[in-house]
Amino acid sequence: MRPLPGWKGQPNCCHLAREAKVQQTSFGDKYPAGKMIREAAAELGVSDATYLRAPATGLLDGQPWHGPIEYDEVASLTRMLQTACYIVVAFLSGMRDSENGAELHLMQRSAGSK
C-alpha cells in the first residue's frame, strides 16, 4: 500500500477528487468520504508530494533514470523531451544551423520562460 498523495503535509483532496471523479467538497468533514480520507491518512501516511501513477521505467546503466515523477515536474520534463527529440531529428536529418536557427531560438526562449 502507498501513502496518500500529499500537498503541504496534508492529503491532496483536489487530486483525490479528480481521481474519484467527484466534487472536492464531498471530502469535507460532514461527509463520510472525509472521515475515510482522514482514517486512510492515519493508517497509510501522506506522501511529500503528488506523484504520477505510472512509474518511470527507463534505465541508465541498469539504474532507474528518475524516481517517482511529481505532477509539478511534468511540464519541464516534457519540454526537455521535446528539445531532445528536436536535436536528434535535426542531427539525423542533416539540418544545418542556418536552417533551424530560428526554430531553436524559439524553443530556447519558451523553455527558459517557464
Q: Are strands 6-7 and 63-64 parallel, antiparallel or unpaired?
A: unpaired
> The pTM is what?
0.63
Residue 3's closest CA among 48, 47, 69?
47
Q: Minimal CA–CA distance to 56: which of 43, 47, 68?
A: 68
Q: CB neighbours of 41 closer than 8 A, spacing ≥ 6?
A: 4, 10, 11
Alpha helices, H only, 1-114: 13-20, 32-44, 74-93, 97-113
Higher pLDDT, residue 43 or 104:
43
pLDDT digits (tens, 9 = 90+) for 44-98: 999 999 999 888 898 999 999 899 999 999 999 999 999 999 889 888 887 766 6
